[in-house]
Amino acid sequence: MMSQIKPVKTIGYPFFAIVFSAASTLAGDLNVVQHKNSTTSTQRLVRLETMNPFLSASTLPLSAPDFAKIKHEHYEPAFEAGIREQLAEIAAIADNPQQPTFENTLLPMERSGAILERVQAVFLNMSSANTDETIQSIEERIAPRLAAHSDDIYLNKKLFARVESLWNSKEKQNWNEEQQRLLKEYYESFVRAGARLNAQDQTRVRAINEELSSLTTQFQNNLLAITKERGVVVDNVTELDGLSTADIAAAKEMAESKELKGKYYLAITNTTRQPILLSLKNRELRKRVWEASANRGLGENGGLDNRPLVLSMARLRAQRAKLLGYENHAAYTLENQMAGKPAAAFKMLQDLAPGVVAKAKLEAVDIQRHMAQDKIQGEVLPWDWEYYAEKVRAEKYQIDESQVKPYFELESVLKNGVFYTFGKLYGIQFQERTDMPVYHPSVRVFDVLGKDGKQIGLFYADYYQRDAKRGGAWMDAYIPQSRLLNQLPVVVNVMNIPQPAAGEPTLLSLDHVTTMFHELGHGVHGLFSSVEYPSLSGTSVPRDFVEFPSTFHEDWAVHPEVLANYAKHFQTNQPIPKDLLEKSIAANKFNKGFETLEYMSAALLDLGWHSISESETPSDVVEFESKLLAKYGVNYAPVPPRYRTAYFAHVWSGGYSAGYYAYLWSEVLAADAFAHMRDLGGLTPENGKMYREKVLSRGGAREVMQQYIDFRGQEPKVDALLIRRGLK
């Protein structure tokens, strides 16, 4: 969702990612742009810059946010100042009487909005990673104001006339590739925002954008509250049979923090499936946990109901698409993606569906056999799948998660696994520093250095789960790389790893290990960016390409050389035994029918909701889900969608509307690229250098399929994906 000329990009992980865009009505009367030449205004500007850390560049290394100075009361005045500043800059560009040129139109647009970018970069991540009632309140007020600000820019007729003049000029043929890409980005953004519409239709688009911005903010704030309200309280420790001592201690501490003395609290994560279901022996408690997850947002027992918000957003998106000349929102969204049209995304999913459903049903046979051993008759139910799948995994590979976790201690995974891999590939070093202010005590900061010792950027790591953090995992950029602005990148990875009880080590599941590799894959896409213009920096690429560099890095997590370096017992420091290592790698492809089907079902729900017209908006959310899943043959009851509509944050409050399919689309590229690199020798500096130069450094400065061909030598094939997912 666009919120300014140079939007902050927020990227996430396929299982957990949440992308949040916010915008709002601002209080205050801070005019820091107009009349800067007057003595009074100059004095006022100096005073405001002293008071508000966002009104001037940070003095910290690489202009990183000074969290020691940033307070809640700074956000709204800074947003107001930033909007005023950028509108003045835009007016100067639009009113320029000279013939439009790259230098007097596009360059100043790229330089505009410095204050707004500073405050928005911090605020959007705080609203996701460290929110509270005050931030949520600000967010609700900011949302419609920033939506209106975006429209004030992209519906500015004089400004669009200048951009269109450049688009139609012969002069652009003499520009370099990056300049031409920048013009294309701007021209298409104006057209897709409605710059060609008549005044009446533009007014309606503005109203829809403001209403949608408020609804998406309300949805994401509801989701945080819903996740809290759906936590499961357990009275008796005997019900927790199957959990480790550390997990039980953590549940007890969580309950005590909520003033539930003598009880145990099981938090709900953002996906339908819940990691705790792998271990809980008590079937009735498993059912309670699953239902708490799957039925959230439906208004049960007086709880919050997200269905009215969803229906309103679906209707408004369809209205806007029609106004802009598209059949539906999916057609609008996919126009500038690699897929091009909804039909291409639907076809990819439909072609895979029969084989994936068959694979899941085959997996269910083994699950039912284990259920029968426990004297449980009947069909597999959703709360049975993960528990008994873990038993099947243990039987097939003589392994269970409790055997492996002691070898996946957080510090070793991070330094000897993730950092080791990226160092081997790209010749970089991560050096932790403790002198930088952070927004939470558990956040860590690292200098990222090249093999020549020169600084590439800063990396912030925020790994632990907390109530103030939204579910999922994502990457964000506080400072995007840009040669034009002389900026080195400052990026952050955010995850939700459960906090262990006091004094206990942080032992990770393989999913969390893989997520760490994935998110730093996004991180280096931002860190290695080497472009001129901030709008083309780092992860500023189509949504169905942006997950390619991150997913590509996942497979290094189970690469034998990498595993041997980090998979060591947290107590003895002994390496993971060879047979356990081999079983772990083999077991990694287990249950892929389930995992692929739950993902595909969610992707089809997303495309389904966004392929309807306004008149086709249903009245019953649950019924719509059921009919759509049946239509595409993925309505297999034991395997529900990874996200159901009422808590599908990716597509309602995030940037993935009609784009959740992108994870699988990107995985085709990632699997093909990883297989190619493996054929070329695997974890070598030569391979890393090639991938960095051809893909990670290019951002949006080159058409993305061409980036892939530059690296791979040809377009991708699906064979490696099928093998990666254990489907071939």
Residues with catalytic roles: 519
Question: Which residue, 13, 5, 17, 40, is CA-closest to 114?
Answer: 5
234 phi and psi angles, rounded to 5 deg: -115, 130
3-state secondary structure 234-294: ECCHHHHCCCCHHHHHHHHHHHHHCCCCCCEEECCCCCCCCHHHHCCCCHHHHHHHHHHHH
Q: Which two tokens stand for residue 530?
A: 């080497």
Tokens describing residue 421: 């891999």
What's the rounded Cα separation, in Å, for the pair 644 and 226?
A: 14
Outline where 60-171 has alpha helix (H). 72-94, 107-111, 114-129, 133-154, 157-168
Distance, in Å, from the CA atom of 238 to the CA atom of 228, rounded to the nearest integer, reads 24
Residue 447: phi, psi to the nearest 5? -75, 135
- In Å, how far are 363, 469, 526, 556 from 497, measured between CA atoms? 28, 11, 23, 20
User: What is the C-alpha separation between 548 and 654, in angstroms, rounded?
Assistant: 19
The DSSP call for residue 661 is T
Integer Cα distance of 331 and 325 in angstroms: 10
Residue 509 contacts residue 278 (beta carbons within 8 Å): no
Q: Report the SS3 class of residue 501.
A: coil
Distances (CA, A) of 566 to 192, 331, 420, 563: 47, 45, 9, 5
| Helix-helix angle 662-679:704-712, to 10 degrees | 20
Structure tokens at 291: 């239902």
CB of 481 within 8 A of CB of 538? yes
First-to-final CA distance of the chain: 37
